[in-house]
């Protein structure tokens, strides 16, 4: 049934109807006399009415907030159900592992295309030749997302705001630049930002400093932590062989190609794995990074996002997870205080 016109009814305040009383001569009756002689009674009545209205609006706001949360969760579920995602990756790439961690945490179904790291025939359709690449199909529209951090920011923005992906991706422009080695590289603007209005940002973060911290630590993962992975998994000939054995097993190699990749790749990575100005014992850099991460969280704060995971938690875990099963990961869990945080991550269900 359609609501009646003018619903909800408006309170008629005395000032809204003053014209009806102007010019009228009204003799003071018993109620007027009571009003004249009982100002305290009137004050108490007004206070009680004000408290009642306050309680009413508080309860109404609380119920509306619950409704909005339910609507938001349902909207996210609806949006995710319309997404068809295909991830082009190297299984052992930490940047790709970041994206998988994000997709898994948000319970987004996706298909994986393992890219041959030598021929890369699987991504010839793309002028962007690095992984991760994510192709998102929404209805009849297909959108290619490049760069792990852009993928994560764009998808999170989409899930929260419902803006079309083709509009969201405009906020993350690709820009050509020349690095310190004189090589042309592609950089992406705003890649740690979620493109949300003030209300949506408040809903996601609560406080502005939480958003700032999330962006800072996401960038730290890209600028520093990622570069500790290769030196630590290739730091000795034995570890280098074990790592490439895992790489060949998980990657898309033919028999001959796999054997060449295992031995030649292991030797090459062992020789170049210390090009990031790290300590002689590269484990110490990994330990220091883990300590820095844990120290940034308060004593009673289980995650970098305080009482719930944020994107910084997700990408940190994604990068560390790529070492799982190797000596570097086992050493990190045994020697550092980061293990409780890792366990808490694995026990946390997707946020929906």
pLDDT over threshold 70, residue 17: no
Would you call 56 a catalytic residue per the annotation?
no
Would you call 234 a catalytic residue per the annotation?
no
Condensed to tens digits (0 to 9), the pLDDT of residues 87-117 reads 999 888 899 999 999 999 999 999 999 888 7
Bigger pLDDT: 99 vs 349 = 99
Separation in Å, CA 69 to CA 72, 74, 156, 211, 351: 5, 8, 17, 20, 12
Per-residue tokens: 146: 């490049």
pLDDT of residue 113: 94
Quote the pTM value: 0.72
Let me know if residue 46 belongs to a domain.
no
Domain holding 216, by residue range, is 63-348
Catalytic pick among 93, 172, 303, 329: 93
Catalytic pick among 21, 56, 88, 90: 90
Number of independent structural domains in the chain = 1
**CATH number for 67:** 1.20.1050.10
pLDDT confidence tier of residue 230, bands split at 50, 70 and 90 = confident
Q: Is 145 exposed, middle or buried (0-12, 13-18, 19+ CB in 10 A)?
A: buried
Residue with tokens 């269900």: 349
Condensed to tens digits (0 to 9), the pLDDT of residues 54-70 reads 444 334 433 443 443 44
Catalytic pick among 88, 96, 235, 270: 96
Condensed to tens digits (0 to 9), the pLDDT of residues 263-320 reads 444 444 444 444 555 556 788 999 999 999 999 997 788 899 888 899 999 999 999 9
Let me know if residue 143 belongs to a domain.
yes
pLDDT of residue 213: 95
Q: What percent of the chain has pLDDT over 90?
A: 43
Would you call 95 a catalytic residue per the annotation?
yes
Average pLDDT, the chain: 75
Residue with tokens 């940047």: 95
Let me know if residue 328 belongs to a domain.
yes
Would you call 342 a catalytic residue per the annotation?
no
Let me know if residue 270 belongs to a domain.
yes
pLDDT of residue 348: 78
Let me know if residue 38 belongs to a domain.
no
Let me know if residue 47 belongs to a domain.
no
Condensed to tens digits (0 to 9), the pLDDT of residues 175-203 reads 999 988 888 889 999 999 999 999 999 99
Per-residue tokens: 332: 């990190």
Let me know if residue 95 belongs to a domain.
yes
pLDDT over threshold 70, residue 31: no
Let me know if residue 8 belongs to a domain.
no
Catalytic pick among 88, 95, 205, 287: 95
């Amino acid at each position: 049934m359609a609501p009646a016109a003018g619903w909800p009814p408006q309170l008629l305040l005395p000032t809204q109807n003053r014209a009806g009383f102007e010019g009228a001569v009204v003799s003071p009756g018993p109620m007027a006399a009571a009003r004249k002689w009982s100002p305290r009674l009137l004050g108490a009545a007004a206070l009680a009415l004000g408290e009642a209205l306050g309680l009413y609006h508080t309860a109404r706001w609380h119920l509306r907030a619950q409704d909005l949360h339910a609507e938001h969760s349902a909207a996210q579920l609806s949006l995710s159900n319309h997404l068809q995602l295909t991830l082009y990756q190297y299984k052992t790439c930490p940047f790709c592992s970041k994206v998988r961690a994000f997709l898994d945490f948000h319970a987004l179904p996706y298909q994986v295309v393992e890219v041959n790291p030598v021929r890369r025939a699987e991504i010839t359709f793309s002028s962007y030749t690095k992984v991760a690449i994510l192709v998102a199909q929404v209805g009849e529209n297909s959108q290619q997302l490049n760069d792990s951090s852009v993928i994560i920011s764009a998808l999170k923005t989409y899930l929260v705001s419902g803006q079309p992906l083709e509009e969201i991706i405009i906020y993350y422009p690709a820009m050509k630049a020349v690095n310190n080695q004189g090589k042309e590289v592609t950089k992406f603007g705003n890649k740690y930002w979620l493109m949300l209005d003030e209300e949506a940002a408040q809903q996601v973060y609560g406080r502005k400093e939480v958003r700032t911290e999330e962006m800072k630590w996401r960038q730290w993962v890209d600028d520093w932590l990622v570069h500790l992975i290769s030196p630590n998994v290739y730091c000795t000939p034995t570890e280098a062989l074990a790592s490439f054995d895992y790489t060949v097993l998980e990657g898309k190699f033919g028999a001959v190609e796999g054997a060449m990749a295992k031995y030649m790749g292991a030797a090459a990575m062992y020789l170049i794995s210390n090009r990031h100005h790290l300590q002689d014992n590269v484990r110490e850099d990994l330990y220091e990074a883990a300590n820095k991460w844990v120290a940034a969280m308060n004593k009673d704060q289980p995650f970098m996002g305080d009482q719930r995971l944020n994107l910084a938690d997700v990408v940190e875990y994604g990068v560390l997870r790529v070492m799982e099963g190797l000596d570097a990961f086992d050493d990190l869990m045994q020697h550092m205080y980061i293990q409780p945080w890792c366990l808490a991550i694995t026990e946390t269900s997707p946020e929906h």
